[in-house]
Amino acid sequence: MSINQSGWRPEMTAGDSRAPAPGFTGNKALMLEEPLIFEIGDGETTGVDLPAVARTGASRFGGLARTAPIGLAGLSEPETVRHYTRLSRQNYAIDLGLFPLGSCTMKHNPRLNEKMARLPGFADVHPLQPVDTVQGALGVINELAFWLIELTGMHGVAMSPKAGAHGELCGILCIKAALEKRGEGHRKVILVPESAHGTNPATAAFAGFTVEDIPATPDGRVDLAALEARLGPDIAAVMITNPNTCGLFERDLKAISDAVHAAGGYVYCDGANFNAIVGRVRPGDLGVDAMHINLHKTFSTPHGGGGPGSGPVVLSEALSPFAPLPYTARTRDGHVHLIEEERAEEFSAEHFDGRLDSFGRMTAFHGQMGMFTRALTYILSHGADGLRQVAEDAVLNANYVLRSLEDVLDAPFAGAGPCMHEALFSDANLAQGFSTLDIAKGLIDEGFHPMTVYFPLVVHGAMLVEPTETESKAALDQFIGALRSVAERAKAGDAALKSAPHFAPRARLDETLAARKPVLVWKDPAPQREAAE
């Protein structure tokens, strides 16, 4: 046994409840109070020192020359670095802890993905480089495209959409192009069930369609009878989220697809929740015509903190000819070729029997290269068995959360059987005056990012928890314990919970005042000060 000879002993005065007086800075030990950047810097400071230049001749800006200072704060380099580093410490991230946001799939991003994405051959290429010099990068896009088609059982894939909603728009525009090609552009209605993602009706409306709701059954799934009753010659498509936002698998999807196809429509599937079924279910087998895949959810490219998204859209044989350019495809000479407008005709003859009829372009270039590299790394490093286990563990973890908390929180669909990748609770049995918001704020004091709240809309005061496959049982138990504790306080009517969070850098904000009187730009207090003097 080694003995600490220094005389140092950690001590704490027992029972000392004297609150410390606020310090000089307002900092709480290492949790720093950080002013706005405009309050740190001024017009006199700069990070770069340039020698004064003697002005010779007249300004060439003419009437466009600036007459007053630009008003940006000048900071030295260490001030700038410290400012943003301090702010970053007030953030919550997947690398800090469990991120239970439902419908978002906040999973761990393996460091191997980052290593691959930073290889210069992928990281330092430019989309306008000669194609001969980027064969490796194109190979990655093509191989990822192959695996996305393989995993979904679909026919083709448009790789360029930049995120989920962009992918939805791509899929719906493919449907629109296919309908117009058939001479059925008069089909103007898209049916969207209540259990679908909120972006679905927005996408349909943006693409010029009329949106109609389809109700959910009491067990939280699409009402097949109501949907079949609405089908007709004016229906362009149905948009379904599977698994849906109640965390439930839409068991009737094949029957829905058959009915929609029989009525001349197409089936769009929101693939945001693909994580729950990857490796187990192929949407192509269920009759889906188009589905976007959020690489930043299912295939672990950075999502938390606003990392770039990527939303490739897999397409059925019926819709593939209408996919946006550019394509990448391995042609018969063995090379991976980028198919732009000028090669489209040749490509059409070779791969689509001359039927290629692309609706246009979604983006200037080829999509999110960095995300493609990460997603392919994830797929190849997991393998088929690994991806299957991802789905199984994600579902197992969500069911563990659901069953561990259904005695304390109301779980509206728990009686209908197991959930998929997310557990849904409601505010049904909280004390009078307590709401889902109080539970979310209480979780912040417990050191967790709150779950998704008030969504889906079909449940009152919804709390949607998606633990993902990332978390260990110990991490889940800690989260469950924290949520249970907060829920019990809300049921017991603990008044302190109404003003939570108490330990965050800011206590509960007045959201109403913030929305009614938003302060959107920094205003220099100096003129007022001068006026007062």
Partner 1 sequence: MRYFTEDHEWIEVDGQIGTVGITDYAQGQLGDIVFVDVPADGRSLGKGDEAAVVESVKAASDVYSPVSGTVLEGNTALADQPDLVNSDAEGEGWFFRLTLSDEAELESLMDEAAYEAFVAKL
The residue ranges that bind partner 1 (CB under 8 A) are 454, 511-512, 515-516
Of residues 400 and 454, the one with the C-beta less far from partner 1 = 454
| Cβ nearer to partner 1, comparing 11 with 510 | 510
Burial of 494 (0-12, 13-18, 19+ CB in 10 A): middle
For residues 48-57, one letter each, b for 16 or more C-beta atoms within 10 angstroms of the residue's C-beta and e for the rest, the string is eeeeeeeeee
Element (H, E) at 239: strand 235-241
Helix or strand run (H / E) with residue 328:
strand 327-330
322: Cα within 13 Å, side-chain hemisphere:
21
Measured from the CB atom, the residue of 66 and 516 that comes closer to partner 1 is 516
**At closest approach, how far in Å is the CB of 460 from partner 1?**
10
**Cα distance between residue 230 and residue 3, in whole Å:** 80
Which residue, 103 or 301, is less far from partner 1 as judged by CB? 103
Q: Which of 429, 432, 430, 471 is nearest to 449 (CA)?
A: 471
CB of 455 to partner 1, least distance (A): 10
Write down the least CB distance from residue 512 to partner 1, Å.
Answer: 4
Which residue, 492 or 507, is less far from partner 1 as judged by CB?
Answer: 507
* Minimum CB distance to partner 1, residue 515 (Å): 4
Contacts for 510 with CB less than 8 Å, ≥ 6 apart: none
> Is residue 354 packed enough to be buried (19+ CB in 10 Å), middle (13-18) or exposed (0-12)?
exposed
| E strands in 78-166 | 156-158
Residue 268 DSSP SS3: strand
The residue (of 111 and 516) whose beta carbon lies closer to partner 1 is 516
Measured from the CB atom, the residue of 206 and 352 that comes closer to partner 1 is: 206
| Pick 515 or 521: Cβ nearer partner 1 | 515
Question: Strand pairing partners for 191?
Answer: 212, 238
The DSSP 8-state label assigned to residue 213 in this structure reads E
| 464 Cβ contact list (under 8 Å, min separation 6) | 101, 102, 103, 245, 247, 422, 423, 424, 425, 451, 452, 453, 455, 456
Q: Which one, 342 or 510, has the nearer CB to partner 1?
A: 510
In the complex, least distance from residue 280 CB atom to partner 1, rounded to whole angstroms: 35
Residue 199 Cβ, how far from partner 1 at the closest point, in Å? 15
Helix (H, G, I), strand (E, B) or coil at 495: helix
- CB of 514 vs partner 1, minimal distance in Å: 9
* Shortest spacing between CB 416 and partner 1, in angstroms: 24
193 preceded by cis ω (within 30°)?
A: no
Partners of residue 356 on adjacent β-strands: none
For partner 1, the closer of residues 111 and 517 by Cβ is 517
| Closest C-alpha to 44, from 87, 83, 24, 74 | 74
CB 122, min distance to partner 1, A: 42
**Closer Cβ to partner 1, 82 or 498, answer by number:** 498
- Dist CA 134 CA 138 (whole Å): 6
Coil vs helix vs strand at 416? helix
Q: How far is the CB of 100 from partner 1 (least distance, A)?
A: 21
CB of 501 to partner 1, least distance (A): 18
